[in-house]
Amino acid sequence: MSFKRLGGLIAQKKNPTVAGLDPRLDHLPPDLRGQVGRDGSLESAAGAILAFNKGLIDALADVVPAVKPQLACYEAFGLPGLAALRETMVYAASKGLYVIADAKRGDIGSTAKAYADAFLGETIVGGSAHRPFPADCMTVNPYLGSEGVLPFVERCRKYSRAVFVLAKTSNASAGELQDRDVEGAPLYRRVAELAAAWGPEYVGLVVGATYPEQLEELRRALPQTFFLIPGYGAQGGGADDVAPGFGPGGARAIVNSSRAISCAWQKSGLPWQEAARAEALRMRDELRQTLKL
């Protein structure tokens, strides 16, 4: 089971942290940003982003169990950006890291199956099987109902992968829809109940650190479901905020930090790889202390 592997890596490193790889050009340190300025092309930008990602992965591979590239940050650079995304995934996997594609895909029928094949399954060409974007897991938007999720779950079962569906997200306007009453319970709770029915072996929830009360509510209701918890660090969440999302012994949850790790060099004055590693270690130790790992 894919979540079993993630849980094993978390236990091995005693660190329930996923490092978000969400690069923008203003996140790059000066030595890499200079590579972009030479010709101003999408290719040079994507090359600098890939170099940044590889450097971060080298600095973090023995500290964090997982990385989470955000697809929009790569799609913005066209085909070179998508090539950088794929190479980032391959490189992270070569270092033993669990790869979560932050895609937030959601569609039905053959379109959903195509998305699922691209990230979780295989594309068959002339009898040869290919993995276009080799992720262990991806985020999925469930607001089209079960038809928008089950094609992904089918691929998870076939290939031992997993999905995190959006339930109570970390952004400020999330409640405009997610908190609406649906027959006596908020919509995010109804989504969580569906996710449990789809199978906690393969289907987890995205629940933001910025809403600790709802995080605690959902953990009580769904003790077996794996949570991906964004909102730590740059969005204001801390270890005390994420703690309610964990099961006994710090189990069944992983906390994302993106800018706080990748952009740590902007505040620390350390070389960028050293700064990222120092921030990842600080976050790990804070979570260990709070969760008593």
Read off the pLDDT of residues 22-40 as tens digits, 9 standing for 90 and up. 999 999 999 998 877 678 8
Q: What is the pLDDT of residues 222-237, one digit of tens each?
A: 999 999 999 887 666 7
Bridge pairing between strands 253-257 and 227-229:
parallel
Q: Can you tell me the distance from the alpha carbon of 15 to that of 53, in angstroms, rounded to the nearest whole number?
A: 20
What's CA 265's distance to the chain center, in Å?
22
Whether 211 has a pLDDT exceeding 60, the answer reads yes
Compute how many other C-beta atoms are within 10 angstroms of the C-beta atom of residue 80.
Answer: 18
Bridge pairing between strands 227-229 and 203-207:
parallel
Q: Would you state the structure tokens that stand for residue 25, as one six-digit string? A: 């050009």
Q: State mean pLDDT over 69-90.
A: 97
CA separation, residue 120 to residues 35, 91, 97, 106, 215 (Å)? 33, 17, 16, 14, 27
Whether 132 has a pLDDT exceeding 60, the answer reads yes
DSSP state of 105: E
What pLDDT score does 37 carry?
A: 64
Q: State mean pLDDT over 98-109.
A: 94
Enumerate the active-site residues. Answer: 104
Q: Can you tell me the distance from the alpha carbon of 181 to that of 23, in angstroms, rounded to the nearest whole number?
A: 37
What pLDDT score does 175 carry?
A: 87
Mean pLDDT of all residues in the chain? 93
